[in-house]
Each structure stands twice: as structure tokens, then as C-alpha cells.
Structure 1
Amino acid sequence: MIPVKAIAADDEPGVLLLLKSILCELDDIQLVGTAKNAADTLRLVKDRNPDLALLDIELPDMKGIKLAEKIQEMKPDLYIIFITAHKEYSLEAYRVYAYDYILKPIDKERVKNTIHRIQKTLGASERLLTKLASRLQTTKLAINLGYERVFLNLNDICYLEKHGRQTILHCVNGNHTARDTLRNFEQQLGTGFFRSHKSYIINIEQIERVVNLPGSSYYEVKFKKSNGKALLTRNRVHALMNLLES
């Protein structure tokens, strides 16, 4: 199960103790704070950044429905479960997209089952985000340029060149100089890129030709969509040819 941070708000100390006991019986649930009023609850949402809030519908300083609306303004993706002795607010609770509305006396198993469902939903969302991030990582490269963060298509990068403590990215539509090392970029790039020299990483798909330099221990790599040239060491030639032929 995915780890979930929870808060609980109720003006009855006994209820808070019971909720704490229930949450302690669940795997990957952390109770990060309790409150006896709405003001303290809002501070917990701000300071602890929970995933789930267990709320009483009647708090001394604010109705639970109003509190839920304020919470949603602060953290729209936070799950809310109302736990209350009042039946009459159930329709309003679903209007503010409460995940469940549990009446007192508290049914422990229902609380557990509801939280399990929330964990599964959060887990599915996490897996989707991971998948999308992985897909983005394989097609884009993020670089910091001063106060900007620029996302480059990997296919548009012809080669990367070490330049002092910086790296020049030679691209189809121009060059970018980033304050990052070639080694760090190498760790981010996929299998379509090849370390041809201590100062160069080349995009295999952009290679047009490899030229032997007479009297030199290097080859010169030329590209389809760039006038620039990268160096290839002789001890890396066979590794590159194997990649090109595979």
C-alpha cells in the first residue's frame, strides 16, 4: 500500500483516541496531527500537507462543511471523510466531494475499508504519474538556464560538449549553455546517446558520418542537422559501430 498521511479533527478527545487506535492498526498510515477545532485543522493542512482528513461535522468554531470548503481551497486533492453523529448533513457532505460519511458510533471496519480504498486510488494515481514521468524523461531533457527551466526534445539534441564547468547542448535549432556537468547529463540521457569522448556525448540518431583524422588518435563525428563536430576516441569506435549496427 502507498503511505498516506492523515489528520483527524473532533472536539471529543475520546473520538480522537479511537481514530488514532484505528489508524495504528493499518499499514502505511501515519497520523500526523489531531485538532479539536477548525482553526487548528487548517493549520495542520498547511503545515503537515496530509493526504487524508477525518473530520467531525460539528466543530466549536465552524461547521465541518465550511471547513471542508476551506481545505479544498488549500489542497484540492485532499481526501475528506466525515465522521459524525449527525445524519442531516450527508447530502451537503457529498456536495463538497467527501469520500465517505460515517455515522457515530464509529464502525472500525468501515473506517478501515474506506481508507484502504483511498490507498488503492492514491496508488493508482502514483503509478500513472510515475509512468508519465518516465515517458517524459525518455523524450525530454530539462535544463536550467538562469531563471528558466527549458525542456528539450531529445531528438533535437545533436551532441553535448563539455565547456569548462558548463555544458553546451548543440541542438537542431541552436545551442544552449547549461551550468551542469557532462556526467550529470549522461545519467539523465537514454540509450540513444553515446559517450564518445571525455568531452562529448553524441546522439546516435543524428550521426551522419564518422571521419578518420590522419595522424590523430581521434575520429571526427559529423551530424545530419548541425554544422558542429564532436570527437570520438579510437578505443570507443568499436562500441559505437556495434550500436549503429544493432
Structure 2
Amino acid sequence: MIPVKVIATDDEAGVLLLLHSILSELDDIQLVGTAENAVDTLRLVKERDPDLALLDIELPDMKGIELAEKIQKLKPDLYIVFITAHQEYSLEAYQLYAYDYILKPIDKDRVKNTVRRIQKAVQAPEKLLTKYASGLKKARIAINSSYERVFLKLNDIYYLEKQGRHTLVHYINGQFTTRETLQNFEQRLGTKFFRSHKSYIINIEQVERVINLQGSSYYEVKFKNNTGKALLSRDRVNTLLGLLES
């Protein structure tokens, strides 16, 4: 069994010692680093490639929620659990990709149960995938939406649409919102997807029509078996047509 790698961040040394003690009682869980501030946490994410980050909300150099956003840009599939004394942040924390929100004083069993759930999610693919695992993993994406983590096949996604501070994901079974930005999705989705407009990313393989909107500075993109539509900027038309015809 491949160990699940964990990092922990808190400006209280006693909390870090307690978390170390709790995690040491779990099989196949490896605490690969601790930090007392956001800067060191980001360094750990880059250097240790963890699967799970246990984060305090209140840090001396940065709010934990802001840190979570930065971590998501570095490693979008990283699980984040907030451990804090500040209950008032709970809703915002969940909206910002947190898998769980554990209040201080820390409940040992609560931490163990949360880590075990994440462990199952991280390790399950190692049990089920064949030698073609790497290719299969690339065909799927995990997206955080409010209180849940949605796992989609890439080809089930029609397009993504920026709506204010959120992104609306249009896929085969409907749609849902996430706080992840289009910029982040561009880095994660791969070559099947194309930034057609500042507010849209489209799945090239799902495109059925490109329509010239008379009197408009934009084109319209329509998709197979879907009533939705995305905008296409005129300066990106030739690039998209080249991709569709290749």
C-alpha cells in the first residue's frame, strides 16, 4: 500500500505535536512535513508533493483560506482539512475546497475518521487500476463543489463558464458551480480543451457547430447533445477551426 503523505500547518507547536501523535497511530499515513506559517507550507507542497494538508485558519503571515487558494493553484487535487478554533469561517472554508473543518480543541477520533476517509479516496485507485493506470487517471478530473468533490470523465464535460467569482461546469448530467478559476482549469484539463473566450473553456471533441453571429464581435459554439452554448472570440476563430479540422 502506498502511504498517504500529509503536511500539517499551525502556529502552535503543541497542536503540531498532537497531530503528529494522532497520525502516527494510523497505518499507511506519513507526516512528511510541518510548518508554522504559510510560506513554509507552500514550500512543503512544492517539495514533498503531499496528498493531504491539515491547515490552521489563522496564521501569522496569511489567512488559511487565502493559503488554501494558493495551494489549489499549485496542486489542485490536494485534499485540505481546516483545523481551527474559529467556527465562523466554516461556510467560506467549505466553499474554498476544504474536505472537512475540524474545530479545536481537537477531537482525536474526528481527525482519525477524516484522515481514513481521505486515505480510502487516495488509495482506492492503486487497488483497482491496471498497468494502464496513468492513462486512465488523465481521463478524469476531480473538482471541488461546495460540500462535495465531483469526479468527472474529461469527455463528459461540454464547457466551463465564468460566472462572477465562480465557474459553472456544464457536463453530461447537468451543471454545478466551483470556486476554481478558469485559469486553473486551463492548466489541468489538457489539449482537448480550448479557451474560446475570456469567460469560456470548451471541450473541442464535443463541439458540433461554430456560428457567426451577425452584427456581433463574437461567434457562438454549440455542442453535441447539449442545448448550451459558449462564446468564441473572433481572434480565436481560426485557431479553433484548425483544431477542429485536424
**TM-score interval, smaller chain:** 0.5 to 0.7
| Residue of structure 2 equivalent to 1:57 | 57
Give the partner amino acid of 2:7: I
User: Which sections of structure 2, spanning at least 5 residues, go unmatched?
Assistant: 137-246
Name the counterpart of 1:151. none
- Residue in structure 2 matched with residue 190 of structure 1 by the alignment: none
Shift of the 134–115 alpha-carbon distance from structure 1 to 2, 3 Å rule, reads: closer
Q: Distance in 1 between matches of 2:75 and 2:127?
A: 21
* 1:116-195 aligned within 5 A: 116-130=116-130, 132-133=132-133
2:135 and 2:102 mapped to 1: Cα distance? 40
Q: CA distance change for structure 1 residues 66 and 134 in 2, over 3 Å: closer, same or farther? A: closer
Cross-structure match for 1:21: 21
Q: Which amino acid aligns with 1:118?
A: I
The answer as to 2:101 corresponding to 1:101 is yes
Matches within 5 A, 1:220-235: none
Gaps of 5+ in 1: 137-246
Q: Where does residue 78 of structure 1 map in the other structure?
A: 78
Distance of 1:135 and 1:94 partners within structure 2: 31
Offset, 1:130: 3.4
Quote the residue 2:40 is aligned against.
40
How far does residue 97 in structure 1 lie from its aligned partner after superposition? 1.5
- TM-score for both structures, normalised by structure 2: 0.52
Instruction: Return the alpha-carbon distance in structure 2 between the equivalents of residues 132 and 99 of structure 1.
Output: 28
- Answer with 1 or 2: which has the greater Rg: 1
Alignment RMSD (CA, Å) = 1.8
How high is the sequence identity, in percent, across the aligned residues? 81
CA shift in 2, pair 1:63/1:28, >3 Å = same
2:128 and 2:55 map into 1 onto residues whose CA distance is 29
How far is 1:133 from its partner?
3.0
| Aligned-residue offset at 1:3 | 1.3
How far does residue 126 in structure 1 lie from its aligned partner after superposition?
Answer: 2.9
How many residue pairs get aligned? The number is: 136
CA offset at residue 131 of structure 1?
6.4
Deviation of 1:2 (Å): 4.5
Confirm or deny: 8 A CA contact 1:2 1:120 kept in the other structure. Answer: no
Query: In 1, distance between residues paired with 2:124 and 2:116?
Result: 12
Runs of 4+ aligned residues of structure 1 deviating over 4 Å after TM superposition are none
Letter in 2 for 1:13: A
Q: Distance in 2 between matches of 1:135 and 1:16?
A: 37
Cα separation, partners in 2 of 1:135 and 1:44, compared to 1, 3 Å: closer
SS class of match (2:77)? coil
Q: Secondary structure at the match of 2:88?
A: coil
Give the structure 2 partner of residue 6 of structure 1: 6
Residue 2 of structure 1 contacts residue 119 of structure 1 at CA under 8 Å; is this kept in 2? Answer: no
Structure 1 residue 129, shift from structure 2 partner: 4.1
